[in-house]
A = this chain, B = another copy of it.
């Protein structure tokens, strides 16, 4: 119980559960999951740092440069990548507040282009989508998302679509979001 607590089951957990913080919670669960994979030598998968445009830096001391002005940049790739059983792994994760659909505007066009490139060059790409309202997390194959994005007639992908096309990732303690199990099953 000590190593990889699931945020949900720990009453002293300090994460807030307001909608705006739920995205953080999926990220938190994925960080624990990736650390678990790393510690047990199962895979080496990391979250990429958030891309930031640095405008101004102060150097009060040599050892602690302080960034005083910077802005968030739109990511040109996905958030997570790494290696599992010799295969390149690449995915994006999104926690959704809506109980009815994933709005397409949370996925950037160049992230879709990136997923296509990854697939083309032999990597395994996918999305991990959590519907906070239902507390359900889905694994969706990258090609399905690419197709849905490119042929979309509406501005969002309905919750029902995920139930039909995604693979539910059950909660566990070790690790919280065991998505490699789905990879083992479907690829």
**Which chain B residues lie closer than 8 Å to A52 at the CB level?**
49-50, 52, 54, 67, 70
A39-79 residues with Cβ-Cβ distance < 8 A to B are: 41, 43-44, 46, 48-52, 54, 64-73, 76-77
Interface stretch (choices A5-13, A82-90, A131-139, A163-171):
A82-90
**What is the oligomeric copy number?**
2
User: How many angstroms from the CA of A75 to the CA of B2 in the assembled complex?
Assistant: 26
User: How many angstroms from the CA of A50 to the CA of B51 in the assembled complex?
Assistant: 7
Task: Determine if B71 and A70 form an interchain contact, defined as CB atoms under 8 angstroms apart.
Answer: no
Known contacts A71-B64, A86-B122; is A49 also within 8 Å of B46 by CB? no
**Which chain B residues lie closer than 8 Å to A152 at the CB level?**
none
**Which chain B residues lie closer than 8 Å to A43 at the CB level?**
121
Known contacts A44-B118, A118-B83; is A71 also within 8 Å of B76 by CB? no
Which of B49, B68, B114, B118 is close to A68, meaning CB atoms less than 8 Å apart?
Answer: B68
Interface: A38 (CB within 8 A): yes
Which of B51, B90, B121 is close to A86, meaning CB atoms less than 8 Å apart?
Answer: B121
Contact with B along A146-161 (1 / 0, CB 8 A): 0000000000000000
Task: Determine if A66 and B76 form an interchain contact, defined as CB atoms under 8 angstroms apart.
Answer: no
Q: Which residue of B lies closest to A50 (CB)?
A: B49
**Which chain B residues lie closer than 8 Å to A73 at the CB level?**
49
CB distance from A157 to the nearest CB of B (A): 24
Known contacts A38-B117, A49-B51; is A67 also within 8 Å of B72 by CB? yes
A-B contact pairs, 24 of them (CB 8 A): A38-B117, A41-B120, A44-B114, A44-B117, A44-B121, A46-B77, A48-B48, A49-B50, A49-B73, A50-B52, A52-B54, A52-B70, A66-B69, A66-B71, A67-B70, A68-B69, A82-B88, A83-B122, A84-B121, A85-B121, A86-B87, A87-B88, A87-B122, A88-B123
